[in-house]
Amino acid sequence: MAYRIDNSTASAVLPDPKPVGPTVGGYFTRGNPSTATPATIVDDDFLNSLQEEVCQTIEAAGITLLKNDYTQLKKAIDYLHQKNGAVYASSSSSPNIYTATLSPAPVAYTEGMGLLVKFTNANTNSATINLNTLGAKSIKRTDGTALQAGDITAGMVANLVYDGTNFQLLNLTITPNVYTTSSSINTYVASLVAPPVSYFAGMHASVKFTNANTSAATINFNSLGAASIKRPDGTALQAGDIASGMIAYLIYDGTNFQLLNPNKVIRRINTIYISSSSTYVPSLGLVHADVELVGAGGGGAGATSTVGHVGAGSGGGGGGYAMKRCYPSDIGASQSVTIGTLGAAGGPGSAGSAGGTTSFGSIFGVTGGGGGLTSNNAATDSFGGGANGGTPTGSPDFSIAGEVGDGAAVLVSGGTAKAGRGGDSVWGRGGVGGLQTLGGTAGSGWGAGGGGGATVGSASATGAVGVQGYAKITEYLSI
Q: What is the pLDDT of residues 228-242, one digit of tens each?
A: 999 888 888 888 888
Check if the beta carbon of residue 463 is closer than 8 Å to that of residue 346.
yes
Of 291, 206, 261, nearest to 478 by C-alpha is 261
pTM of the model: 0.53
Q: Residue 392 pLDDT > 70, yes or no?
A: yes
Q: What are the C-alpha distances in Å from 290 to residues 204, 335, 365, 394? A: 32, 14, 13, 15
Select, from the ranges 43-47, 157-161, 192-196, 254-258, the one with the highest average predicted confidence (pLDDT).
254-258
pLDDT digits (tens, 9 = 90+) for 276-287: 999 999 998 888
Return the minimum-mean-pLDDT range out of 48-57, 214-223, 289-298. 48-57
SS3 376: strand
Of 440, 279, 431, nearest to 351 by C-alpha is 440
Q: What are the C-alpha distances in Å from 129 to residues 53, 90, 138, 151, 159? A: 35, 11, 6, 14, 13
Helices (H), 61-206: 72-84
Q: What is the pLDDT of residue 15?
A: 86
Q: What is the pLDDT of residue 19?
A: 81
Q: Across all residues in the chain, what is the average pLDDT?
A: 87
Residue spans of the domains in the chain: they are 80-169, 187-259, 272-477
Tell me which DSSP letter residue 79 carries: H
Residue predicted with more confidence, 460 or 265: 460
Count of other CB atoms within 10 angstroms of residue 460: 17
Residue 59's H or E segment, with its range, is helix 44-60
Residue predicted with more confidence, 93 or 216: 216
pLDDT digits (tens, 9 = 90+) for 15-70: 888 887 776 678 888 889 899 889 888 888 888 888 888 888 878 777 888 888 88
Residue predicted with more confidence, 417 or 469: 469
pLDDT digits (tens, 9 = 90+) for 301-315: 999 988 888 889 999
Band (225; pLDDT cuts 50, 70, 90): very high
Q: What is the pLDDT of residue 304?
A: 92
* Amino acid (1-letter code) at residue 198: S
d(CA 185, CA 188): 6
Q: What is the pLDDT of residue 87?
A: 59
